[in-house]
Chain A
Amino acid sequence: MSLNHLKFEEVNWKKELNDLVDAATPEEKAATEAFAKALGPHLNNPEMLRTLLGKIQASIPGDALAIVVAQKQFGSLDELKFKLPNSVAIVNL
C-alpha cells in the first residue's frame, strides 16, 4: 500500500481537524482552535481552497496588474475593475 499522493475527496478532513482539536494539549489549545476556526469554513466549501500556500509570483512582462495596483487608491470597486485588463479577475471579496 502506498501512502502517497493524497486526493482531497479521499480524506475526511473535517473529522481529522476535529480530532486535532480534541487531541490538543493545553499549550496547543489556542493555536489549534484558531486554526480550526479559520480552516473550518473552507472545508465546508472546498472550492474556496486553492493551494494553502503563499508565494510571491514571478513578474509578467508589461504586468498590467502591477501598474494598476501601484495607484493604491480607487473611488470604487467598479473603478478598479474598469482599469483591469480582461485577463485579470477579482476573486472572492
Chain B
Amino acid sequence: MGHSRIRPERYIQIKEMEKIMRIVPVGHTVFAVDDQTTALGLPIEGLRFERNVVRDLGRRPGWFTTKLLSSEGPLISDFVTHEASFKYTSYGIHVGQDDRLTFMGGGGSPIRGHFVDCRRGSATLHTRVDVSFSSSLNRRLVIPRGVAHTFDGLERVVTRDEPVWYVSEDNDDWNIDNDLISISRDLDIRDFPVVHPNEHLLPDVAHQFQSRLSQSLLQNPKSYLARYLLTIGGQEQYVRFNYPTWGEDEEREVRDLLDIPQIPGVEVRRSRYALTGPRSWTIVPNTDACVADVLFLPSTTDGAWSGKSLHKRTKMWYTFLSSEGMPLDLEFLDCRRDSPTAGVNSRLRTICDPRFSVAIDHGIAYSIKCREDVLVRAEQELFVDQNEPRTDLPVFGQDLLFVDHGQFPSVEGLPNMPCPTKLLRLIARHETAAYSRPV
C-alpha cells in the first residue's frame, strides 16, 4: 500500500475491551478483521470496533428473528442505503461528529475502509490505515471526528450511524449545517487538511433537538452540499458546492409508492431522507423520540406461519431498508372492537423501498412477508391510559401478542394518551443496558 510507517502488531491493544480480539495483518497497512471479532482497537487513536447490543427473538416463522438495539449514548440513528453501483471518489472528515457505523446486509463481499488521521496535535497525524471486514449486526465501527474516511465495497450494504455530536465556539473548520469536509481520493496524504475537532460533547437533549430539526428540514428530500478546503488567492478557505444532479424521478416514484387504498389503522408515509447518491438515501427518524431499532425479517418460505402480530400499547413504524424493489406483502386485521371497521382484513402488496414507512396503530394485527431477507427499521410511539395500571394490557417492553390464522382477538379500551418521548427514550436506554450485560 506504500503509506505505512506502522507496524500493525505494535498497535493491537486489548486494553479494557471485553472480548478476545483477533487481527490478521496483511501487507503493510491493510488489516483483515475476521467475522468473530466484535471489539478491536486500530492503529489510529479512537478508531475501533465495538460490540453491538443484539437480541435473539427466537425462530417463529414469519416474524423477526433478531433485534439490533440502539447503543448507549444519544440513542439516535440514521441509515444510509447504498445502490448496486455505489462508489466514493472522496474522503470525508467530520469536525463535530464521531461516527458509529454498523454495516448491515449486502452481498457478502468484503468492505474496505480507508482512514487518515487529520487531527491537529495527534500523535498519528496523517497516518493511513486500511481495514477489510464484512458486514455484521454484531459490531459497529467508531470513527473519531477529525479522522478522514472512505469505503469501498458498500454496494447494497445499509449502514446504521449512531453519531455522537460535539460542538466548539469559533471553530473555523466546523459548519453546523454540514460538518463534513470532502477530500479528493487522489490527493497525496501529506496534503490532507489538518483540522481542529470540536471539543464539547453535546448533551443528549440537544442531540434530540438537532435530530428533530433535521427531520423537519427533510420534509422534502435534499442532496448534500460538498465542502472542500481550497487555497484561493493564497488563502485557505472552505468552499461549498451544490450540484443538483439527482432526484429527477424521486417525486413520481414516491408518489407511486404512496398511492395505496385506505387501510383502517394504517398509514403509509414518505420517510424523511436526504439524497446520498442517485438511488441511495440517508433515512432520518420519523418520530419525535428519534429512537429506532433494526429488526431482521428472514425470507418467507412456503408453508410459513400465517398468523399475525398485535400490539395493544404501541404504534409501530416500519421502514424497509434493504432488498429494494422486492415484492412485500402486508396483511392487516382491525381488532379494535369499537372501530367501524372491526374485523376487516386488508392487504397491501408493495415493494421494499426505504423512501416510505408504514405506521400501524395499536389494535391492528399484521403480518409482513418477503421472499428475501429484509432489514427493517422499527420506530415506536407508546400509549398509556388515564387509569393505569391497566392489568389487562401488556407491560411496556412485552407488548406483543401472536394471533393465529382465523382468530379474531377483539380488543377494547386501548390506551390513547401518547407517552412522553422522555419516557420512551428511558425505556430504550433500559433495554440496551439490560441486554448489554453478559449472560
Contacts and interface: CB of A to CB of B under 8 A. Distances in A.
Interface of A: 1-8, 10-11, 13, 16-17, 20, 23-25, 28, 30-35, 37-39, 42, 48-60, 63, 65-66, 69-70, 72-77, 80, 84, 87-93
Pick the most buried of A16, A28, A75, A76: most chain B CB atoms within 10 A of its CB: A28
A10 B241 CA distance: 30
Given A35-B210, A58-B276, A87-B243, 16 more contacts: A23-B205, A28-B203, A32-B202, A33-B169, A34-B167, A38-B176, A51-B282, A56-B182, A57-B223, A59-B88, A59-B89, A65-B241, A69-B230, A73-B231, A75-B232, A93-B239
B167 A53 contact: no
Nearest to B381: A3
Contacts of B212: 6, 11
A5 B272 contact: yes
Main secondary structure of the interface of A (DSSP, over half): loop
Contacts, number: 205
A55 B216 contact: no
B222 interface: yes
Interface stretch (B184-192, B303-311, B394-402): B184-192
B228 A80 contact: no
Closest 10 CB pairs of A and B: A58-B277, A54-B180, A31-B200, A59-B89, A56-B92, A52-B214, A8-B216, A6-B216, A3-B288, A34-B167
B240 A74 contact: no
B241 A91 contact: yes
Query: Which of B91, B205, B418 lies at the interface centre, i.e. has the most chain A CB atoms within 10 A of its CB?
Result: B205
B242 A91 contact: yes
A8 B177 contact: no
A48 B168 CA distance: 19
Contacts of B418: 1-3
B6 interface: no
B434 interface: no
